[in-house]
Chain A
Amino acid sequence: MKSLYLLIFMACGSVGPRCTLAQDFVIRGATVHTASTQGTLKNTDVVVRGGVIVAIGSGAGSSTAVIDAGGKDLTPGLFGGLTDIGLEEIALEAQTVDSSLNFKSPEWDQQWRPELDVTLAYNPRSFVVPITRIEGVTWTVLAPNSADSIIGGQGSAVVLDGRYDAALDGSRSLFVQMGAAGAKVAGGSRAAEYMLLEQAIHEARAQKPIAQGALLHTAGREALARYLMGGRVVFQVDRAADILGVVAFALRNGMKPVILGGGEAWLVAKDLAKADVPVILNPLDDLPIDFDHLASTLENAARLQRAGVRIAFSSGNTPQARLARQLAGNAVAHGLPWESALAAITSTPASIFGLSATRGRIAVGQSADLVLWSGDPLEVTTLADRVWIAGVPVEMKSRQTELRDRYVEKLKVHQAR
C-alpha cells in the first residue's frame, strides 16, 4: 500500500499541485457515517472509482486496491466553515490578506461592490491548505469580510486538494454584514442597513444607472440583480430581532437568505424553521460578547435542531478551520444528537451551498472526499488516519508536521543522552 501511495505521489508531483490520478479502491469494513438518511452503516465497504463513490455495501467492489478499515469510522470530508483559507496567510500581515475590499471611502460616499468575488484571490498553495486537509477538512466556503460597507462581496466553496480551479460550481454566494458590526459602516444605525440595502436594490432593478450618489457601479448592479432572483445571500446577524428583520427583508426582495452567526437564533427558531432558513453558527458561542449576543447559549445548536432548523457549524477562524469536529462534539455534549452534529459539518453545509449532488455525504455518485478516523470522529482525542479528496489520497504532511519532525527527533535524541 505504501509503495502504491509513493508511486502516486511521485506521479502527482510531476503534474503540479493538482493531482488528477484518482485511484480506484475499496475501503473495506468501515463504520460508515453517511451523513444522510442512511445513518451509520457498520462493517461496510465503500467503492471508489474515478474519484467518485460507486458502491456502498457488503462485499462490494473488486478493485485492485483494498484498504482495510478494520471497523474504523469513515466520514465524508468535513466542512471547515466560512473562512479565508487561501485568502489569508497571516491575519496581521496585510500583504498576505486578500479577504476584504477597503477603499477607505468616507461613510457619506459609500462604495458598494457586490461584484467583488474573493474566490479570484484564492491561493491553493497556501500553507494553510495542507495544514487544514490533513485534519479531515476537505472544503470550505471563502467568505469576504466587509470593511467599509456592509456588502462584503461574493465568495465560493473551494475544495482543499491544492487544485488551481478549486471553486465548486453553484456555490457562489453574496455576503452581507448586518447587526452592530454592520451599523458601524452604515452611519451608526442598524436601521440604516435596510435603508442602504433598499437603495442598492432600487439601483439594481432600475433600467438606468443613477446619475449621482449611487452606491453601485454597473457591474455591481448586475451582480446584485442576480441575487434578487433567488440568489443565496449570507447575512451575518446575531440579535433575534435582526434575524427576523433580515429574513423578512430578504424574502421580500427575492433573495434566499442564510443566517451566519445567529447568536440568538434559538429565540426565533420556530420562525426560521417555518421559513426554512438555515443557520450557520459557532456552537461554542455562549458569552454575551456584545448587546447582539445577550441570549447566547451552548444549547443554541440543539434548540435550533429540535425546532427543525437546518444548521451548519463555522468558527470563522481561518487557521483553526481544522477544529470543525470540536465544534460538533461540543454541540453533542450540549444536547445535539450525534448524527445532526456530523451533518452540521458535512451534508447540511453542502446543501446550504448548493453542493448536495456532489458533496457532503457518503453516497453513490458523491465525490470520494473521505476521512478514515482513529476513533469517534467528533472526539478531540481522535485524529484523521487517512484522507482522500476526489479519490486521491492526501499525503498526511504539512509545514507543521515537517517542523514537528525536525524538532521532535532532536528532542528525543537529546533526552536519551
Chain B
Amino acid sequence: MNMVSRAVLLFSMILAVVVVWAAEPFPSTYQVPVSSPVLIQGATVLTGTGERLDAADILIANGRIQAIGKGLSAPADALIIDAKTKWVTPGLIDIHSHLGVYASPGVQGLDDGNEATAPVTSNVWAEHSIWPQDPGFETALEGGVTTMQILPGSANLIGGRSVVVKNVQGATYQSMKFPGAAYGLKMACGENPKRVYGEKHQAPSTRMGNVAGYRQAYADAQDYQQQWDKYNRELADYNKKKAEPAEGAAKNSKKKDSSADKEPTLPSPPKRDLKLETLAEVMSGKIRVHMHCYRSDEMATMLDVADEFGFKIVAFHHAVEAYKIADRLAEKGVCAAMWADWWGFKMEAYDGVQENIPMVDFPEHSCAIVHSDSADGIQRLNQEAAKAMAHGQRVGLTVLPQRAIRWLTSNPAKSLGLEDRIGTLEPGKGADVVIWSSNPFSVYALAEEVFIDGALKFDRAHPPVPPRSDFLLGEDIAQAPL
C-alpha cells in the first residue's frame, strides 16, 4: 500500500473528512518510488523512540521499515549495506524552513516568502511560492533532511498556510507535497510584524497592536463560521423540506396547509472568504498553528489568545526564551522549535542561552525541537543538537544521543501531526533513513546515505552528476575555461 492509499485509509475513518479531502485543491502527486529492498547491517541505531540499538539490522522494503533487530535475513533482491562502523537515524525533519520561498539565489525574482502587504494574510499558501529548483533542497538532503515544513515569513501577524514537503526532486511542488499532511498556519509574535507595519504607519506598530490584530482576525473568523453554520442549517432544512412534500402530500392529502404549499427557498451561501476560511479551519482543529515567538511573556500571551478562541498552538518557533517557561510549555503540550545558540541579532533575541534546548527538553512530556530557519543551518541540524547537548551536560542536564535525536525526528513529526508515519525507525513507518559516517552528534559526521520512503535519494560515494537543481545545470561547463 503506498502513502496515498494509506493516507486515504487514515482519513476514511471519518466520512466527512474524506469528502473534504477529495475536494482539497492542489493535491499531492507524490508517489512512493519503486525500489529494491535494503538491509542495513550491524549499525548503531538511534530509533527516534528514545532507544539506542547496537549492532542492529534494519530491513526496508516497499517504502517502509519492515523490521529492526539482530541477524535479519535479506530478501534475494535486497541491497545489503554493511554499516558496522556507522550510525543510523530516522530522516531528519525541519519544521521551520523557507527553502523554495526564499530560494538561492536570493534575487528579487525569487523573493516570495512574505506577503507583507497586510498584517493578516491567512489566505496565502506558502506552497504557491515554492520554487522546486532551489539548490538548497539538495544541500539539505546532504545533511540528512528528508521532510520539511515550508512556511511563509514572519512579516505578518498571520502569514499564511505552511506546507509539508518531502525532500525529493520534482518539477512541481505537488510532486514533493507530503500526502495527507495537515496544513499549518504561520503566525508571528513580536518585533517583525510591528516593525514592518509600524514603518508603514499602519497597525500594528506595537505588541498590543499585534494582539489586537490576532484577536480581531479570529473574532471575524468566528462570525464567518457562524454564517456558514447558519447557512448549513438552512440548507439542511431546505433539503428536508424539499424531501417532505411527497411524503406530506400522501399523508395529509385532505389538509391544505398554506405553509406546506410554499416552495422552500434555497438559501444562498455566504461569500467565501479565503482568509477567514483558513482561520475557521484552525479553530476546527484541521489546520495546525506554528507560531514565531521569541519571548516567554509573548508565548504566554499567545497561549491565552489560543484558549480564548479555542485553537491550539502546536509549536512556538525560535522560542529563544522558551527555557524561562519550560514547565508551562510541557504542561500545555506545546512544542518549542529552537536554534542551538542564535541570539542577539534583535532585542527579542537578547536573552538567548545555549542551554535553551536541553532546558526545554528537561520536564516530563516536553517537546523540544531543533529547527533551522536557514538554508545553511538545515544542512547541519545534527551539529545544532550536538552543541545543545554539550551545553546541557555542563549544567547537569545530560541528554544521551538516543534522546537528542528525538529533537530532530520524532518531536518535529509530532508537531506536524505525522508521528504515526515518520520520525522513528519502527516497523510500518515510512522508510526515511539516514546512514551517518559516525555518531551524528559530531562536527565530523556526514550523512552518507539518505533514503526517503525506502529509495536512496543521496549517496555520498556517488554524488549526483549533474546537480539535482535545474538552476545549477551547466555551471561546471562555465567554470572550466577552454
Interface flag for A404 (CB, 8 Å): yes
CB distance from A145 to the nearest CB of B (A): 14
Whether the Cβ atoms of B362 and A90 lie closer than 8 Å is: no
In the bound assembly, the distance between CA atoms of A405 and B353 in angstroms comes to 10
Whether the Cβ atoms of B136 and A408 lie closer than 8 Å is: no
Task: From B167-175, B221-229, B232-240, B386-394, give the one contacting chain A.
Answer: B386-394
A333-B386 contact given A288-B135, A290-B106, CB 8 Å threshold: no
A93-B444 contact given A289-B104, A407-B324, CB 8 Å threshold: no
Interface flag for A372 (CB, 8 Å): no
Of B324, B350, B352, the most chain A CB neighbours within 10 A belong to B350
> Hey, which chain B residues are within 8 Å of A320, CB to CB?
341-342
Of A379, A408, A414, the most chain B CB neighbours within 10 A belong to A408
In the bound assembly, the distance between CA atoms of A295 and B386 in angstroms comes to 29
In the bound assembly, the distance between CA atoms of A322 and B107 in angstroms comes to 30
Interface flag for B355 (CB, 8 Å): yes
Pick the residue among B362, B386, B389 that contacts A411 (CB under 8 A): B362
In the bound assembly, the distance between CA atoms of A286 and B140 in angstroms comes to 11
> Hey, which chain A residues are within 8 Å of B479, CB to CB?
267, 295
> Hey, which chain A residues are within 8 Å of B441, CB to CB?
380-381
Main DSSP-derived SS at the A contact region = loop
Interface flag for B354 (CB, 8 Å): yes
Q: Which of B340-358 contact A (CB under 8 A)?
A: 341-347, 350-355
Q: Which of B305-331 contact A (CB under 8 A)?
A: 323-324, 326-327
A380-B443 contact given A407-B359, A414-B327, A415-B362, CB 8 Å threshold: yes
Task: From B121-129, B204-212, B375-383, give the one contacting chain A.
Answer: B375-383
Whether the Cβ atoms of B355 and A408 lie closer than 8 Å is: yes
A287-B136 contact given A330-B380, A411-B363, CB 8 Å threshold: yes
Pick the residue among B343, B359, B444 that contacts A332 (CB under 8 A): B444
> Hey, which chain A residues are within 8 Å of B345, CB to CB?
90-92, 319
Pick the residue among A131, A290, A379, A405 that contacts B443 (CB under 8 A): A379
Whether the Cβ atoms of B397 and A408 lie closer than 8 Å is: yes
Whether the Cβ atoms of A90 and B106 lie closer than 8 Å is: no
> Hey, which chain B residues are within 8 Å of A411, CB to CB?
323, 326-327, 359, 362-363
Interface flag for A128 (CB, 8 Å): yes
> Hey, which chain B residues are within 8 Å of A288, CB to CB?
104-105, 135, 471-472, 475
> Hey, which chain A residues are within 8 Å of B346, CB to CB?
90-93
CB nearest to B375 among chain A residues: A287
A93-B347 contact given A287-B376, A332-B444, A381-B386, CB 8 Å threshold: yes
Interface flag for A294 (CB, 8 Å): yes
Whether the Cβ atoms of B353 and A381 lie closer than 8 Å is: no
> Hey, which chain B residues are within 8 Å of A332, CB to CB?
443-444
Q: Which of B136-190 contact A (CB under 8 A)?
A: 136, 139
1/0 per residue, CB under 8 A from B, across A203-235: the answer is 000000000000000000000000000000000
CB nearest to A286 among chain B residues: B139
> Hey, which chain A residues are within 8 Å of B104, CB to CB?
287-289
1/0 per residue, CB under 8 A from B, across A354-386: the answer is 000000000000000000000000111111000
A404-B353 contact given A380-B383, A381-B390, CB 8 Å threshold: yes
CB distance from A373 to the nearest CB of B (A): 11
> Hey, which chain B residues are within 8 Å of A290, CB to CB?
105-107
CB distance from B241 to the nearest CB of A (A): 60
> Hey, which chain B residues are within 8 Å of A407, CB to CB?
323-324, 353, 359
CB distance from B319 to the nearest CB of A (A): 14
Using CB atoms and an 8 Å cutoff, list the residues of chain B in contact with chain A.
104-107, 135-136, 139, 191, 323-324, 326-327, 341-347, 350-355, 359, 362-364, 375-376, 379-380, 383, 386-387, 389-391, 394-397, 441-446, 471-472, 475, 478-479
A93-B346, A323-B341, A407-B359 known; 9 other A-B pairs, CB under 8 Å? A91-B345, A284-B376, A287-B104, A287-B136, A289-B105, A290-B107, A320-B342, A404-B395, A411-B362
A-B contacts, 26 listed (Cβ < 8 Å): A90-B350, A93-B346, A128-B344, A131-B344, A267-B479, A285-B376, A288-B135, A288-B472, A289-B104, A294-B472, A323-B341, A326-B387, A330-B380, A330-B443, A379-B442, A380-B443, A381-B441, A382-B390, A407-B359, A408-B396, A411-B323, A411-B359, A414-B327, A415-B327, A415-B363, A415-B364
